[in-house]
């Protein structure tokens, strides 16, 4: 706009002989507006970077600690009198062992260990001392006994999860002051934890089980992990990839290369663009109504989640693929047609390979979007509390599972602050996956991008 | 004007037996707009026919009708009849893939596939199943590159990308690619417009050599080029065929004032 008006002024007659060092008021004004614009752009970029840094700092400071976990290491005597009363080690009888049977074993073991090391804190007896150990520990022990029945009657070294409060104490979440007001932990118990730590019985280690363990109930945040969620998300991504990529690419090729240009294809085009903007929760309702209520697929299953996310991802893939196909110079297709290739040969031998990087990039971005999607999954029941790992595909696609973003949502809804830390940890895991996917997309584009 | 053209055609008409392709009342429409008006033009066997005329006169449109490349444009409609060896190429029963294998095309801008030089030439024979063995394919590739006068330059780097060649080499590679499927007719749409004078000279020389085996129709903006390489010339203006005849006669003694003005550079 400025340019044209400047042109008209110039046409009207610019004063002739003038030094180049003299800058006219008009030129100065144009420069000023350019500088202003540049500054505004720079400010916008700086603002975005600060916002991003703030977000990353908050997530990392809250979540990084979830990758470490406090464990109590000690020997537990697997008492045959309690675990195997009949003494026949039969699997059926062993399977009947309850965690209530095992709890006293741990209590005795801890008391004996403390006594042996000469650790004693006033106000803590054997019953309250064992509260330092997670309620998950008996289950951990039971699992071990069932897997190794031959070790019954021996003392075995175990690394048992410390309770969430003790873990929180070493992460700064729990203090002596807060413990005094807390029904679940007392300052004396914290003192005992310190003693145990000094004796080398209690330590923090990298928390592998955060990635492998299933979710845990409200009272044992220290045991909660992302195993089921990661598996569920992976299953859904497989389904989305297997369905959305071929369907999306086929639809794009048809629309771009074969479909006649008429009102119907225009309508389809507009609707695909609109579909990409439909709120994701609408897809969830659709999934609930069609896949669960009408088709009768199971709730909470990766297959339903995968189908819903496929519907969501399709527009993204179609739009990206069509753009990639359009970007291939028509001269390449003409060349193939000109020597007698059929339309399909021209497309599959020449156009599609050249469009592949664009298609892959679009697909990966679509997958990344689907990976982070929460709302539609809530509606199809993936928010359920799932402790069982889904089976191997394809049957596993029909087993209940969770998903990463849903797990984040789920944990933020729980009361214990330890779950908030885990939610932040899960966000970090999710972000790492997304960053990896986007990096792959960028690398693919760099690697296969062709210039002609 | 049209009458004069008809007379002209009668004067120096091609012998019936020498006609390779014949266009009868060819009209082309792009949607509502008519781009070609009842063009009657014959193409003689084993000769070079040049199509000349100012930009937008319909010469490229006519050329693209000869192997139905216009089919790729949705809104394009062709009426009239074009025959290849007496068979109507617009007959619905004709397979356009068969037609294009017999009537090849070289485009204005060199457009090698972004693959190796070898693959560029081998692609046509491969999709048409012209060879049974790798050795035969190698032979076709070599002979095509030789015919296109580029073999000596590329024989040591057959597996390097075709897009890495210079413009003139790329265009000759495209010609090699076109002749690899042994077409009968080669259509060339301003094949030298993107090339420098030296590359142009090479391609022109090549066109003259190819005339022995192929029938060539070439669209060109260069009068000198038309005069140098073609035996017959057709002049188009505003979608109509103005004049058509033996090149020498047309350039020395044109029938119409329009042609005279155009070839002497007074318009266009």
Angle between helix A137-147 and A99-117 (nearest 10)? 100
Residue B28 structural domain: 1-88+219-268
Q: Which residue of B has its CA nearest to A351?
A: B113
Q: pLDDT tens digits, residue range B76-124? A: 889 999 999 889 999 889 888 889 999 999 998 899 999 999 999 999 9
CB contact under 8 A, B113 and A350: yes
Helices (H), A222-371: 227-253, 263-275, 280-287, 302-327, 330-338, 343-345, 352-371
B64-74: average pLDDT: 87
Q: With an 8 Å Cβ cutoff, is B111 touching chain A?
A: yes
Q: What is the distance in angstroms between the Cα of A259 and the nearest Cα belonging to chain B?
A: 10
ipTM of predicted complex: 0.85
Contacts 24+ apart (CB under 8 A), B219-224: B219/B50, B219/B51, B219/B52, B219/B59, B219/B60, B219/B63, B219/B188, B219/B189, B219/B190, B220/B50, B220/B51, B220/B52, B220/B190, B220/B192, B221/B52, B221/B55, B221/B190, B221/B193, B222/B192, B223/B52, B223/B251, B223/B263, B223/B265
Q: Final residue of a domain: which of A158, A182, A212?
A: A212
CB contact set of A403 (below 8 Å; sequence gap of 6+)? A229, A232, A233, A236, A305, A374, A377, A382
**Together in a domain, A48 and A73:** no
Chain A contact for B52 (CB, 8 A cutoff):
no
Verify whether the Cβ–Cβ distance A339 to B72 is below 8 Å: no
A246 with A171, same domain? no
A78 and A159 share one domain: yes
pLDDT band per the 50, 70, 90 thresholds, residue B6: very low
B133 belongs to a structural domain:
no
CA atoms within 13 A on the CB side of A162: 30
CATH of the domain at A344: 1.10.3720.10
Check whether residue A30 and residue A73 sit in a common domain: no
Q: Which two tokens stand for residue A442?
A: 């960028």
User: pLDDT band for position A415 (50/70/90)?
Assistant: confident
Per-chain mean pLDDT for chain B: 87
Q: Is residue A222 part of a domain?
A: no
Q: Are residues A78 and A57 in the same domain?
A: no
Cβ pair A341:B112 closer than 8 A: no
Does the distance separating the beta carbons of A332 and B127 come in below 8 Å?
no
Say which CATH number the domain at B44 has. Answer: 3.40.50.300
Are B108 and B59 in contact, with CB atoms under 8 Å apart?
no
Mutual orientation of helices A417-448 and A404-412 as an angle, nearest 10°? 160
Q: Are residues A384 and A275 in the same domain?
A: yes
Please check the confidence at residue A26 and state whether its pLDDT lies above 60. Answer: yes
Same domain, A394 and A253: yes
CB-CB under 8 Å, B127 with A341: yes
A202 and A154, same structural domain?
yes
pLDDT score of B3 more than 70 = no
pLDDT in tens, B152-163: 889 899 999 998
What's the mean pLDDT in A249-272?
Answer: 90
* Helix, strand, or coil (residue A271): helix
Q: How confident is the model at residue B12 (pLDDT cuts 50, 70, 90)?
A: low
Q: What is the least distance, in Å, from the CA of B172 to any CA of chain A?
A: 14
What's the pLDDT score for residue A127? 81
**Is position B58 within any domain?**
yes
Task: Label residue B176 left, alpha or beta by phi (over 0 means left) and psi (-120 to 50 means alpha).
Answer: alpha
SS3 (DSSP) at A387: coil
Say whether both A50 and A74 belong to one domain: no
Categorize the per-residue pLDDT at A91 as very low, low, confident or very high, splitting at 50, 70 and 90.
Answer: confident
Between A251 and A128, residue with greater pLDDT: A251
Q: Number of folded domains in chain B? A: 1
Mean pLDDT of B125-138: 89
Q: How far is CA A354 from the centre of its chain?
A: 32
Segment B128-135 shows an average pLDDT of 88
Question: Residue B268's pLDDT band (boundaries 50, 70, 90)?
Answer: low
Q: In chain A, how many domains are there? A: 3
On whether both A77 and A167 belong to a single domain, the answer is yes
pLDDT score recorded for residue A322? 94
- Cα separations in angstroms, A40 against A26, A33, B179: 21, 11, 58
Nearest to B148 by CA among B216, B74, B101, B81: B216
User: Which of A157, A187, A212 finishes a domain?
Assistant: A212
pLDDT value, residue A3: 47
Residue A32 pLDDT class (50, 70, 90 cuts) = very high
* Predicted pLDDT at B2: 47
Q: Which domain holds residue A28?
A: 2-10+21-63
Q: Which residue of A has its CA nearest to B124?
A: A339
Q: Which of A329, A334, A341 sits opposite B69 (nearest CB)?
A: A334
Q: Is the pLDDT of residue B49 over 90?
A: yes
Backbone angles phi, psi at B117, to 5 degrees: -60, -45
DSSP designation for B187: E
Please tell me the distance from the alpha carbon of residue A149 to that of residue A130, in angstroms, as a whole number: 24
Q: Are residues A98 and A168 in the same domain?
A: yes
Q: What pLDDT does A12 receive?
A: 56
Query: What count of CB pairs under 8 Å joins A to B?
Result: 69
pLDDT at B217: 94
């Amino acid at each position: 706009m400025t340019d044209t008006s400047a042109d008209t002024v110039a046409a009207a007659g610019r004063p002739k002989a003038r030094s180049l060092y003299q800058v006219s008021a008009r030129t100065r004004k144009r420069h000023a507006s350019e500088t202003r614009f540049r500054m505004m752009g720079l400010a916008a970029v700086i603002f975005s970077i600060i916002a991003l840094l703030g977000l990353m700092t908050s997530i990392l400071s809250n979540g990084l600690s979830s990758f470490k976990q406090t464990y109590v290491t000690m020997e537990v005597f697997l008492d045959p009198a309690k675990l195997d009363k009949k003494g026949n080690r039969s699997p059926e009888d062993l399977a009947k062992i309850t965690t209530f049977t095992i709890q006293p074993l741990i209590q005795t073991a801890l008391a004996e260990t403390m006594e042996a090391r000469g650790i004693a804190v006033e106000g803590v007896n054997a019953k309250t001392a064992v509260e330092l150990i997670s309620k998950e520990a008996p289950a951990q022990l039971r699992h071990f006994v069932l897997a190794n029945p031959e070790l019954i009657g021996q003392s075995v070294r175990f690394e048992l999860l410390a309770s969430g409060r003790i873990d929180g104490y070493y992460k700064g979440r729990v203090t002596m002051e807060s413990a005094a007001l807390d029904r679940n932990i007392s300052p004396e118990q914290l003192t005992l934890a310190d003693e145990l730590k000094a004796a080398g019985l209690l330590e923090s280690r990298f928390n592998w089980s955060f990635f492998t363990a299933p979710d845990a109930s409200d009272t044992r945040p220290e045991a909660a992990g992302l195993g089921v969620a990661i598996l569920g998300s992976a299953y859904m991504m497989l389904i989305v990839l297997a369905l959305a990529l071929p369907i999306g690419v086929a639809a794009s090729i048809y629309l771009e290369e074969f479909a006649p240009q008429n009102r119907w294809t225009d309508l389809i085009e507009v609707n695909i663009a609109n579909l990409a903007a439909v709120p994701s929760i609408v897809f969830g309702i659709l999934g609930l109504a069609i896949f669960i209520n009408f088709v009768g697929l199971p709730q909470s299953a990766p297959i339903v989640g995968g189908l819903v996310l496929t519907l969501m991802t399709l527009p993204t893939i179609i739009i990206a693929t069509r753009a990639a196909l359009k970007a291939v110079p028509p001269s390449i297709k003409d060349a193939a047609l000109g020597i007698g290739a059929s339309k399909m040969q021209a497309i599959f031998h020449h156009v599609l390979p050249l469009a592949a990087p664009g298609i892959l990039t679009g697909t990966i971005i679509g997958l990344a979007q689907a990976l982070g999607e929460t709302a539609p999954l809530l509606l199809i029941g993936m928010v359920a509390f799932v402790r069982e790992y889904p089976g191997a595909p394809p049957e596993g696609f029909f087993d209940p599972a969770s998903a990463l973003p849903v797990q984040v949502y789920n944990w933020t809804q729980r009361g214990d602050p330890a779950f908030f830390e885990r939610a932040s940890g899960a966000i970090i895991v999710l972000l790492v996956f997304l960053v990896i996917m986007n990096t792959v997309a960028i690398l693919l584009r760099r690697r296969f991008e062709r210039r002609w | 004007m049209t009458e004069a053209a008809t007379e002209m055609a009668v004067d120096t008409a091609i012998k019936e037996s020498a006609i390779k392709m014949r266009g009868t009342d060819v009209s082309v429409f792009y949607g509502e707009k008519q781009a070609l008006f009842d063009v009657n033009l014959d193409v003689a066997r084993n000769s070079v026919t040049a199509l000349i005329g100012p930009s937008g006169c319909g010469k490229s449109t006519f050329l693209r009708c000869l192997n139905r490349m216009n089919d790729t444009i949705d809104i394009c409609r062709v009426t009239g009849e074009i025959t290849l060896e007496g068979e109507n190429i617009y007959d619905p029963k004709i397979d356009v893939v068969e037609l294009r294998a017999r009537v090849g095309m070289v485009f204005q801008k060199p457009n090698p596939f972004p693959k190796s030089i070898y693959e560029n030439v081998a692609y046509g024979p491969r999709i048409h199943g012209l060879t049974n063995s790798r050795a035969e394919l190698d032979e076709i590739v070599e002979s095509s590159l030789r015919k296109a006068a580029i073999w000596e330059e590329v024989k040591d780097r057959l597996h390097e990308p075709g897009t890495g060649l210079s413009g003139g080499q790329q265009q000759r590679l495209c010609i090699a690619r076109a002749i690899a499927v042994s077409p009968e007719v080669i259509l060339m749409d301003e094949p030298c417009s993107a090339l420098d004078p030296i590359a142009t000279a090479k391609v022109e020389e090549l066109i003259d050599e190819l005339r022995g085996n192929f029938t060539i129709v070439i669209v060109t903006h260069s009068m000198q080029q038309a005069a140098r390489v073609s035996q017959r010339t057709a002049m188009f203006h505003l979608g109509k065929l103005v004049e058509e005849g033996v090149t020498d006669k047309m350039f020395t003694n044109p029938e119409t004032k329009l042609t005279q003005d155009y070839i002497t550079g007074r318009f266009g």
